[in-house]
Structure 1
Amino acid sequence: MSAAGLSIAVVGAGAVGCYYGFLLARAGHAVTLIGRPALVEAVRAKGLVREDATGTASVAVRATTAAEGVVGADLVLVCVKSDDTEAAGAMIAPHLGPSASVLSLQNGVDNAERLATVLGRPVVPVAVYVATEMLGPGHVLHNGRGDLIVGASAASAQIAAAFTAAGIPTAVSERALDALWGKLILNCAYNALSALTQLPYGRLVQGEGVIASMTDVVRECVTVADAAGVSVAPDILDRVLDLSITMADQRSSTAQDLARGRRSEIDHLNGYVVRKGAELGIPVPANRMLHTLVRLAEAQSVV
């Protein structure tokens, strides 16, 4: 696979898919977004739009609702919600070329494994560190960061080179699962609390008892990770708290889902820790409570 002029399909053109799709298209790659009809109409009318603190720009990309959009792709970026992983895999499986590289840019730690089972081929896990949200179909707001850690594969070095050249800082790691667990812990600490309060991270941590509660969540996650044989950075709590500074204005994806009446990925965040803790015989009451509260809130708001 040549790093120049790649054909790239993005499956699930939400905030993450649109952000990286924009940068890759701007760098000259042929990008196809696969998403809902409203996205397709918007992109065909005005291009894919990215907004940030410096202004607004658009780039022309192909957009479709059809799984056939992956035909001929060198690279397929799967960016769907965790609940939709198996369905997305089944949808694209008949249309993937034999040499296509499939990457999972999803929250949670087991999506690449689940997707690989459906596809019957390897899937590269990717830890994504970006703050984005959709302002409308085909219009993504970038609030911060944008770097990736890509799991090791035969094509990973070339993929990382292409992404870095497109303005996406990308590293390749044999320990991508550890990175995904690190991100899971960040999400477990922030997502539910941000969703339940609808507060951005910077304001959230100022609340009485919030840092102590987040500390409890992180400690439970680390205990489960250690028991599962995962290596978590020893300064993970500091990294969690630093996020309230580096992404002070960001609301979690769970908060955005709840505000829009959509089902969130909480089952694959705190809920995953609850299930893994039960499997390993480790109590995780702080994570269980956050998972329960978000599910209750969803029951009132999901349409």
Structure 2
Amino acid sequence: MRIAVMGAGAVGCYYGGMLARAGHEVTLIGRPVHVDAVRRDGLLLDTRDFQERVPVRASTSAEAVRGAQLVLCCVKSTDTASAAVELAPHLATEAIVLSLQNGVDNAERLQALLGREVGAAVVYVATEMAGPGHVKHHGRGELVIGPSDASARLVELFAAAGVPVEVSDNVVGALWAKLILNCAYNALSAITQQPYGRLIVGDSVEDVMRDVVQECLDLAWAEGITVPGDSWESVQRIAQTMPAQFSSTAQDLARGKRSEIDHLNGFVLRRGKALGVATPVNRALYAVVKLLEERAAGDAGQTASPAA
């Protein structure tokens, strides 16, 4: 199958690499530094089970999705709208579009902007870009998708590539379950620059996380969303299954990049205000991350400024 990955960061490179390793024709669309490395040396897929250079195509232009039968949208939530504009002229009519993004509303946003069906996938994987064209896999890798005409085909496709996929009738609830995990971990990992395993054993950290989880569950109830499973148990399990993982927000701040916090704790804050649900702990975490983003942007600006 011809597959295009829009947003060749850690998540996009992992899933794109696994699919390419299984024999599919994969094109990664990303930043020049990664595209150049992949074109020169292939994608270095560095997992817990193997390390392999996988030959894939790479481009910096969304035009490279032309002819793709499956398009995985893996851009940051902050880039969803611009990605849709870039993708729209090049998507094949029969292409399956799947959002592998953080947050709960990216598939809806893409669908509205593209005027076509977009499937939502809940992603559970610990990855990072360890260097240009080098994706490091720390654990897990499963996906949850909703039922559709293409779901059985997607399950078979990913399974053959070593990626477990569950089809859920409550994919919205599954997206909220992932949102709760992100809200519990991402900001705290970013603020402290600590991985999940060390973070959760910090003094009073579990209490803060419990407060975040409860605020999110209160909001979900107000939204009429049924969140599957035990959210607090899931939070604890993340620290056990991904102990060395730094959140994507932590990775963004460490590199001086804008994070997705507006679509995580910031989303909870905005919806809480709209529905009259108190979210003080999410608000505090959001505010601190935004301050750190502003400081990083200021430092970058000073560095880039010519000497007087």
TM-score normalized by structure 1? 0.97
Q: CA deviation at 1:205?
A: 1.1
Q: CA deviation at 1:54?
A: 4.1
Among candidates 286, 293, 302, match of residue 288 of structure 2? 293
Runs of 5+ consecutive residues of structure 2 not aligned to the other structure: 301-308
- What residue number does 1:251 align with? 246
User: Secondary structure at the residue paired with 2:97?
Assistant: strand
User: Secondary structure at the residue paired with 1:146?
Assistant: strand
Kindly provide the CA deviation profile for residues 74-118 of structure 1, in whole angstroms up to 9, marking residues without a partner as x: 100000000000100000100111100100000000000001111
User: Secondary structure at the residue paired with 2:186?
Assistant: helix
1:179 and 2:174 are equivalent in the alignment: yes
Q: CA deviation at 1:157?
A: 1.1
Among candidates 91, 114, 120, match of residue 96 of structure 1? 91
- What residue number does 1:84 align with? 79
2-structure distance, mates of 1:168, 1:234: 22
Q: CA deviation at 1:129?
A: 0.3
- What residue number does 2:208 align with? 213
- What residue number does 2:26 align with? 31
- What residue number does 1:3 align with? none
Cα RMSD of the aligned pairs, angstroms, is 0.9
Among candidates 196, 200, 219, match of residue 191 of structure 2? 196
- What residue number does 2:117 align with? 122
- What residue number does 2:61 align with? 66
Q: CA deviation at 1:174?
A: 2.2
2-structure distance, mates of 1:235, 1:119: 35
Runs of 5+ consecutive residues of structure 1 not aligned to the other structure: 1-5
1-structure distance, mates of 2:40, 2:108: 37
User: Secondary structure at the residue paired with 2:46?
Assistant: strand
Report the residue type matching 1:152 in the other structure. P
Kindly provide the CA deviation profile for residues 247-272 of structure 1, in whole angstroms up to 9, marking residues without a partner as x: 11111000000000000000000000
Q: CA deviation at 1:56?
A: 2.0
2-structure distance, mates of 1:99, 1:210: 47
1-structure distance, mates of 2:201, 2:208: 12
- What residue number does 2:101 align with? 106
Kindly provide the CA deviation profile for residues 38-61 of structure 1, in whole angstroms up to 9, marking residues without a partner as x: 111100111011113444211100
- What residue number does 1:7 align with? 2
1-structure distance, mates of 2:189, 2:171: 26
Contact 2:30 2:58 in 1 (8 A): yes
1:44 and 2:44 are equivalent in the alignment: no
Judge which range, 157-166 or 102-111, deviates more: 157-166
Q: CA deviation at 1:164?
A: 0.8
Q: CA deviation at 1:14?
A: 0.1
Q: CA deviation at 1:234?
A: 4.7
2-structure distance, mates of 1:161, 1:184: 26
2-structure distance, mates of 1:208, 1:202: 13
- What residue number does 1:155 align with? 150
Count of aligned pairs: 298
Q: For residues 128-143 of structure 1, what are the structure 2 equivalents within 5 Å?
A: 128-143=123-138
Judge which range, 100-109 or 235-244, deviates more: 235-244
- Name the CA shift for 1:24/1:234 in 2 (closer, same or farther; >3 Å): closer
Report the residue type matching 1:74 in the other structure. Q
User: Secondary structure at the residue paired with 2:136?
Assistant: strand
TM-score normalized by structure 2? 0.95
Among candidates 234, 237, 248, match of residue 242 of structure 1? 237
User: Secondary structure at the residue paired with 1:126?
Assistant: strand
User: Secondary structure at the residue paired with 1:106?
Assistant: coil
Report the residue type matching 2:233 in the other structure. D
Judge which range, 129-138 or 49-58, deviates more: 49-58
